[in-house]
Structure 1
Amino acid sequence: MAQPIEGFYAVIPAGGVGSRLWPLSRADAPKFLHDLTGSGQTLLRDTWDRLAPLSGEDRIAVVTGRAHRAAVEAELPGIPDANVLLESEPRDSAAAIGLAAAVLSRREPDVIIGSFAADHVIRGMRTFEFAVQQAVAVARDGYICTIGIQPSEASVGFGYIKKGDELVVEGAPEAAAVERFVEKPDLDTAKEYFADRSYLWNAGMFISRADVLLAELERNEPELHAGLMELAEAWDDRDRRGPVVDRIWPTLKKIAIDYAVAEPAAERGRLAVIPGHFDWDDVGDFASLAKLNSRGRGELAILGGNARVLADASSGIVVSQTKRVISVIGVQDIVIVDTEDALLVTTSEHAQRVKGVVDALKLSGQGEVL
């Protein structure tokens, strides 16, 4: 793109631990602070580089936890201090994105914001940029817009968006109304969705005028909206911000923006979708990480700058953060993650079950490895 999109502000929610990527992803080093693709930089930095041409570097806000401030600012040395919005504790995506909308709306009443997760992998910049351009055009018309991904397989790991009637919006030839959201399906249902090209993966990307998003939030979650507006009123006053955040933020309802804003907007015919024709992955578990990094089917992907791996007739992924020699012989779809204080061994088929290990460690009082 030659010029950033006029009136557009990118928002990067950088939260969540990524518990299905334990023990690589931890509370003090969540997955957005890792290089998971071999690009030589973190997923957060990749996200910044992807959004900067669309908004300009001075129009990207990051919403993250206080504990991650130093790491985020080290990764993004060009980010203005005012554009780092700090949460005192995680309160889910409606609070994070709503805070950005409320703060940015006070600074610029007509601003259009686009929210893009810090820990997703996207390949195909031209098609991504075109999708965002269309979504901004739809947002100017007063809709809340999401970008749905054209499925490449019958996946049970994602929620789906049912695309409805086409919308006539100048500058957005692919715009359509959202008929409904669908939770993660079973395999047979996922195969039906894949055959029906009107179903798209829900990638959690939302583009809207900030005031429109806030009005929808007020309609559906008035107490959450009221708290966010009080926060925004004090946000740019350094003396007032800390006490107000400490008082209000812990009381905010934990709810995803899908439930607080997107699904109710879809029911009222105010949610639109643009199909995304680019490669996208939320790197949700080690099976998807193996696919991202494998050079070919049946090969073993290896991550780690100093990994010492010997492989023979094996496939899957090995992630090593130690100097240990790891030998993998005659096993298929293996997942090995070796860190200084924890070792994970599973298979791609069971990669989603890693979250259960994290839950078990919490219950057993072994949170020091999380």
Structure 2
Amino acid sequence: MLCALIMAGGKGERFWPLSTDEKPKQFLNLLGDKSMIQMTVERLQALIPIERIFVVTGEIYKDLVQEQLPDLLEANIIMEPIGRNTAPCIALSAMYIKKFYNDAVIAVLPSDHLIKDDEGFLKVLSVGGNFVKNKEDAIVTIGINPDRPETGYGYIKFDNEANGEIAADSDEIQVLPVSAFVEKPSREKAQRYISEGNYLWNAGMFIWTADHIIELTKKHLYNTYSVLKCIDMSNPQIFKEQCKIKYPLVDNISVDYGIMEKAENIYIIPGDFGWDDIGSWFAVERYCNKDEDNNVHQGKVISIDSKENLVISYQKPIVVVGTDNLLVVESDELIFVCSKDSISALKDIKKKVLEQ
């Protein structure tokens, strides 16, 4: 039974000041009239019914999830009392989902990725789900064909000499054995990966059975497993109360470090469906319409003798004159202006501003 688990607990600090601790980027309309999480759920419903879609998020975001996803069952919102990285979050969710669907195959997906070709993505998801259903000790991850030497993503190396050993081939969608997970590289290494042709971007999307990821957690993160197995998931109120007490005791570790780097029988499906993780303001800029001076404007913006600016207004008009390469954002709390060269330092800038 194919289910989806959408991870929606991130703070999105690289989109400050629009993204805040109270309303992070997955709940913002960055690329249109729908939020990132709304786009994610809408995309999935062509393959997976809403009753088999689950969202794991911070307890403080429950109301936002319900507001933006009114058709999602309240029981399908899994709440973390505190963020402890992806490995315990996924294990907790797998144990929870298994209470509803004992034979669950779970597709773990971020809430804030852009996918242009929904049909192509769902075909990949379906092939991966069927593969795991037939090979229950396997993990399938979805990799993205790189189109530039990106240094901000991890890479996954697959076995390009596995001719005749391809695990599955459906409508030219291949499932290939993984050789290694690679950390974010230097530009030189990233260029070499593209030239070698058997490296894909790690998009953080995984497919496995609930039983298998629980067993892998028990094997590689026993402390996390032993904490989570003692949480009573049969009653929502008891579940919430016990999570508050016990969940902080799990390991604070990502699923990549905690499990993927130690697991066996990992496979990858190369994806080419217009993916982007929308990880910074530069990503938003890539997908928005530009004027003749290469400016991106959202809301009420007047630009005079200015170019290469990204300006976002929600209430008051913003006028920019004789300026180049700026990020200008109006939020509920402030108006923020910085050089685009400073965008990479937004986390530090946010910290300094909030200390004032």
Query: Does TM-score exceed 0.5, indicating one fold?
Result: yes
Q: Which residue of 2 aligns with 1:243?
A: 241
Q: Which residue of 1 aligns with 2:10?
A: 16
Q: Which residue of 2 aligns with 1:260?
A: 258
What displacement does 1:250 show? 1.6
Q: Which residue of 1 aligns with 2:322?
A: 329
* Alpha-carbon distance in 2 for matches of 1:183, 1:271: 17
Query: Is residue 224 of structure 1 aligned with residue 220 of structure 2?
Result: no
What displacement does 1:200 show? 0.7
The 8 Å contact of residues 283 and 289 in structure 1, kept in 2 or not, is answered as: yes
1:36-66, Cα deviation, whole Å (9 max, x unpaired): 112x111110000011112111110011112
Structure 1 residues 147-166: aligned runs within 5 Å: 147-165=142-160, 166=162
- The one-letter code of the counterpart of 1:299 is N
Query: Is residue 195 of structure 1 aligned with residue 190 of structure 2?
Result: no
Q: Which residue of 340, 344, 350 maps to 1:352? A: 344
Inter-CA distance 223–311: structure 2 relative to 1 (3 Å threshold): farther
Inter-CA distance 196–311: structure 2 relative to 1 (3 Å threshold): farther
* Alpha-carbon distance in 2 for matches of 1:353, 1:294: 25
What displacement does 1:322 show? 3.9
Deviates more, 1:292-301 or 1:121-130: 292-301
What displacement does 1:214 show? 1.2
Gaps of 5+ in 2: none
Q: Which residue of 40, 46, 49 maps to 1:53? A: 46
**Which is richer in helix?**
1
Q: Secondary structure at the match of 1:110?
A: coil
The 8 Å contact of residues 322 and 340 in structure 1, kept in 2 or not, is answered as: no
1:20-50, Cα deviation, whole Å (9 max, x unpaired): 1111110001001101112x11111000001
Inter-CA distance 68–174: structure 2 relative to 1 (3 Å threshold): same
* Alpha-carbon distance in 1 for matches of 2:196, 2:58: 40
1:134-186, Cα deviation, whole Å (9 max, x unpaired): 21123121311110011121111111111125454345551111111111111
Structure 1 residues 1-370: aligned runs within 5 Å: 7-38=1-32, 40-140=33-133, 141-142=135-136, 143-165=138-160, 166=162, 167-170=165-168, 172=170, 173-231=173-231, 234-265=232-263, 268=264, 270-295=265-290, 299-304=294-299, 307-331=300-324, 333-361=325-353, 364=355
- The one-letter code of the counterpart of 2:73 is P
What displacement does 1:334 show? 2.6
The 8 Å contact of residues 21 and 31 in structure 1, kept in 2 or not, is answered as: yes
Inter-CA distance 200–353: structure 2 relative to 1 (3 Å threshold): same
Q: Secondary structure at the match of 1:85?
A: strand
* Alpha-carbon distance in 1 for matches of 2:157, 2:302: 44
* Alpha-carbon distance in 2 for matches of 1:169, 1:110: 22
- The one-letter code of the counterpart of 2:13 is S
Inter-CA distance 47–353: structure 2 relative to 1 (3 Å threshold): same
- The one-letter code of the counterpart of 1:22 is W
1:52-96, Cα deviation, whole Å (9 max, x unpaired): 112111110011112111111111111112101111121111122
Q: Which residue of 2 aligns with 1:3?
A: none
Instruction: Using structure 2 for the length normalisation, give the TM-score.
Output: 0.92
The 8 Å contact of residues 290 and 297 in structure 2, kept in 1 or not, is answered as: no
* Alpha-carbon distance in 2 for matches of 1:312, 1:280: 34
Inter-CA distance 317–176: structure 2 relative to 1 (3 Å threshold): same
Matched pairs, number: 349
Inter-CA distance 221–246: structure 2 relative to 1 (3 Å threshold): same
The 8 Å contact of residues 26 and 36 in structure 2, kept in 1 or not, is answered as: yes
CA RMSD in angstroms comes to: 2.0
Inter-CA distance 248–204: structure 2 relative to 1 (3 Å threshold): same
* Alpha-carbon distance in 1 for matches of 2:154, 2:293: 28
- The one-letter code of the counterpart of 2:221 is E
The 8 Å contact of residues 149 and 191 in structure 2, kept in 1 or not, is answered as: yes
* Alpha-carbon distance in 1 for matches of 2:319, 2:57: 35
The 8 Å contact of residues 137 and 169 in structure 1, kept in 2 or not, is answered as: no
The 8 Å contact of residues 101 and 213 in structure 1, kept in 2 or not, is answered as: yes
1:220-265, Cα deviation, whole Å (9 max, x unpaired): 111111222222xx12313422321121112122111111222211
Q: Which runs of 4+ in 1 moved over 6 A?
A: none
Inter-CA distance 273–290: structure 2 relative to 1 (3 Å threshold): same
